A and B are shown apart, each in its own frame.
Chain A
Amino acid sequence: MTNPIMTEQNNKTQSDEELLMEKLRSILLKEERQKVQRLETIVETKKNLSEKVDPIIEEHIQRLKTEFPDHYKQVVDRIVEQKIKDSSEEILNTIYPVFGQMIKKYIALQFQLLRESIDQQIKNTFSTKGVIGNIKARLFGIKTSDVIISNINKPIISEVFVIERDSGLLKGSASAVSTIDQDVVAGMLTAIKAFVEDAFDGGQQNLGMIEYDTHRIFLQNFPNYYIAVAMSGSISTTEKSNLTDRLLAFADKEINNTLFASSEESFKHISEQLEIYFIGKEIQLLT
């Protein structure tokens, strides 16, 4: 049986010890406890935490901005590429309406320009010069509408090349625009011509025209050489005939006696004359 007096004494001693320990703890850990309290205030108060953490995050963001392409570009590229491949149909569905709108706007603008151009042409048609032109056109059986339309998109010569038929070597050239090496253009034109003439088994027939969008290259063939005329705009049969006449006249006067002299002088002469005869000229004015 336990002695109640002894038990009470024991309890008291234990309680005193705990108090002492707590005092000791508070003396020894005073500084640490204060630190913990300060930290708690920082961590648990948004404003205080933000003041401490924001500069670190900001620094990381800045570093990521500058270093991101080096570290992650390839990965992102691969992801985007794969995503495009996987979702090509969805992308098309999204882009289609946008393209549709763009095309619609472009066509509307072109119609507007065409209308303005026709209005201008109608005004010109009823001017003195226009009336004389109309009478001329009527005499030759050309409709007024054809005259108006042909005046809208006049063909203008930008480049001319005289090219040896078999070898594709350039014998003279003139250009209003700077293009790639003209010797290479002459070679490629000859290669295209040879390919088409061989591929479609045309016998003795020749390629006469190459067309791309609003540009065309008119090819006038002669026995040993051909002349390539690059132009913009649309060309009517009458203008084609005018151009052919001009090319024949040029060939007769300026080339036939000099082409195979194979000298630099011949090249210079042909090039200079090409410039005078053709460059920047409207084809309908060539006679």
Chain B
Amino acid sequence: MISKKVILTGSFGVGKTSLFNQFIYSKFSDRYLTTIGVKVNKKTLEIGGKELSMLLWDIAGEVAQDKVPTSYFLGASGVIYVCDLTRPSTYKNLDKDIEYLKGIINGGIIKIVANKSDLVSAEDIERIKSEIPLPIDTITSAKTGDNVNDLFHALGAELID
């Protein structure tokens, strides 16, 4: 079995832990509990006949990525950067954050995810996408589960290649 470390990062309150819980346990809670430090969990995926053990590190949100301890990113094969469609402050520094992450994860895959699609209309999503400085890879809703499994499976497939 192949094992890969994947980091969930982004500003606080964007729904990283909700995505993590939706993917691992298929559960969503409206209660907001801030993550302290890191929470690690694992899910085994079967992709193209191969088994991938995805070790997910759900790290505490920070307004800028250079505030996150660098050591958390070491050895990561993938990073999921999550922003919140309803809060511009969570994507206004996206380009700087991604540039910073590229510098420390050494060739790993970075996925940009806009979460909370259940709270905005389809027209608003289009408008917000044009405001975000970089192209979004996936638009998700941790609450309804929309695109959550697809996101992790797509990343898993790229990690196995």
Whether both chains belong to one complex is answered with yes
- A184 and B44 alpha carbons, distance in the complex (Å): 12
- A183 and B5 alpha carbons, distance in the complex (Å): 11
Q: Say if the beta carbon of A197 comes within 8 Å of chain B.
A: yes
Q: Say if the beta carbon of A166 comes within 8 Å of chain B.
A: yes
Given A183-B3, A191-B72, A194-B71, A168-B37 contact (CB < 8 Å): no
Q: Say if the beta carbon of A167 comes within 8 Å of chain B.
A: yes
Which residues of A from 167 to 201 have beta carbons under 8 Å from B? 167-170, 181, 183-184, 187-188, 191-192, 194-195, 197-199
Q: Mark A139-169, 1 if CB is under 8 A from B, else 0.
A: 0000000000000000000000000111111
Q: Say if the beta carbon of B138 comes within 8 Å of chain A.
A: no
Nearest chain B CB to A270 CB, angstrom units: 14
Contacts of B133 in A (CB 8 A): none
Determine whether the beta carbon of A195 is less than 8 Å from that of B41. no
Nearest chain A CB to B154 CB, angstrom units: 21
Determine whether the beta carbon of B38 is less than 8 Å from that of A195. yes
- A170 and B1 alpha carbons, distance in the complex (Å): 12
Q: Say if the beta carbon of A264 comes within 8 Å of chain B.
A: yes
Given A183-B3, A183-B53, A264-B1, A194-B42 contact (CB < 8 Å): no
In the complex, which residue of chain B has the Cβ closest to the Cβ of A164?
B75
Determine whether the beta carbon of A170 is less than 8 Å from that of B3. yes
Q: Mark B33-58, 1 if CB is under 8 A from A, else 0.
A: 00001101110000000000101010
Given A183-B42, A184-B42, A167-B72 contact (CB < 8 Å): no
Which residues of B from 1 to 32 have beta carbons under 8 Å from A? 1, 3-5
Contacts of A197 in B (CB 8 A): 71
Determine whether the beta carbon of B75 is less than 8 Å from that of A198. no
Given A167-B76, A169-B5, A181-B42, A187-B71 contact (CB < 8 Å): no
Given A164-B75, A183-B55, A198-B69 contact (CB < 8 Å): yes
Determine whether the beta carbon of A166 is less than 8 Å from that of B42. no
- A195 and B71 alpha carbons, distance in the complex (Å): 8
- A184 and B42 alpha carbons, distance in the complex (Å): 6
Inter-chain residue pair count (beta carbon < 8 A): 59
Given A167-B5, A195-B69, A187-B75 contact (CB < 8 Å): no
- A249 and B76 alpha carbons, distance in the complex (Å): 29
Interface centre among B5, B40, B69, B74 (most CB of A within 10 A): B40
Size bin of chain B's contact surface = 20 to 34
Interface centre among A165, A167, A197, A264 (most CB of B within 10 A): A167
Given A187-B40, A188-B40, A169-B3 contact (CB < 8 Å): yes
Determine whether the beta carbon of B42 is less than 8 Å from that of A168. no
In the complex, which residue of chain A has the Cβ closest to the Cβ of B2?
A262
- A197 and B3 alpha carbons, distance in the complex (Å): 25
Contacts of A191 in B (CB 8 A): 37-38, 40, 57, 72
Given A167-B74, A168-B75, A187-B55, A195-B37 contact (CB < 8 Å): yes
In the complex, which residue of chain B has the Cβ closest to the Cβ of A181?
B42
Nearest chain B CB to A153 CB, angstrom units: 31
Contacts of B4 in A (CB 8 A): 169
Interface centre among A165, A191, A198 (most CB of B within 10 A): A191
Given A168-B40, A181-B42, A187-B69 contact (CB < 8 Å): no
In the complex, which residue of chain A has the Cβ closest to the Cβ of B74?
A166
Q: Given known contacts A188-B40, A198-B69, what 6 new A-B pairs fall within 8 Å (CB)?
A: A167-B55, A170-B3, A181-B42, A187-B42, A187-B55, A191-B38
